[in-house]
Amino acid sequence: MDTNLRRRVRAGDHDAFGELFDAYARSVYNHAYRLTGDRTTAEDVVSLTFLDVWRLRDRVGEEGGSLRPWLLGIATNVTRNTRRAGRRHAAALSRLPRDEAVDDFADEIAGRLDDAERLALVRTALARLRRAEREVLALCVWSGLDYAAAAEALGVPVGTVRSRLSRARTKLAKHMEPSAGRGQSNGDRTTAVRPLREGNR
């Protein structure tokens, strides 16, 4: 990103901020979706991330290079806060009186998708990771950041990124193995996480 655009963003130039958004919104969305698994939540995270970026625009330095690690770091924090708020909201809703249940056909439709079982396996394996492991996996493997950039995004040492990523890969490999005694009807289930094992190093 050129220094002139950085300077204009810091000065509060709306057109420059629009250019910044156009350059990085897709990357922020992809990162948020990988952390949440929900398109609507990912869209909310993008909005909130760039709202924070506008508020923190004076922190955009003069030096060149990508602002991606900084933006993904903000997106990671926004995702944490969004999840926290979601849990509080769900807890509040659970305390309300329940109406009579209405049939929901979404699960039936989703069950017809060819890869539903594989996707469920991946999500279950990811859910077993610690939050810190999921975050470093999303940054290094899915978003393609190197160790140093991921460390910058998370505000942790490079060694911490390496160890978290190693633990995440080990756990995923373990949890993606098919259960003993169960056949494979739809091919190799581990295909879905192969990119996770072969991510950037």
3-state SS of the chain?
CCHHHHHHHHCCCHHHHHHHHHHHHHHHHHHHHHHHCCHHHHHHHHHHHHHHHHHCHHHCCCCCCCCHHHHHHHHHHHHHHHHHHHHHHHHHHHCCCCCCCCCCCHHHHHHCCCCHHHHHHHHHHHHCCCHHHHHHHHHHHHCCCCHHHHHHHHCCCHHHHHHHHHHHHHHHHHHCCCCCCCCCCCCCHHHHHHHHHCCCC
Fold that domain 1-98 belongs to in CATH: Rna Polymerase Sigma Factor; Chain: A (1.10.1740)
Band (pLDDT 50/70/90 cuts) for residue 49 is: very high
Rounded mean pLDDT, 160-185: 74
Q: For residue 99, what pLDDT is reported?
A: 60
Domain residue spans of the chain: 1-98, 115-201
Residue 138 in this model has a pLDDT that exceeds 70: yes
Residue 24 has pLDDT above 70, yes or no: yes
pLDDT of residue 18: 92
Point out the least confidently predicted range of 31-35, 134-138, 188-192.
188-192
pLDDT, the chain, mean? 78
- According to CATH, the topology of domain 115-201 is Arc Repressor Mutant, subunit A (1.10.10)
**What is the predicted pLDDT for the residue at 178?**
57
pLDDT at 58: 85
pLDDT in tens, 85-114: 877 777 777 777 766 555 555 555 555 555
Q: What is the pTM of this model?
A: 0.58
**In the chain, what percentage of residues exceed pLDDT 90?**
27
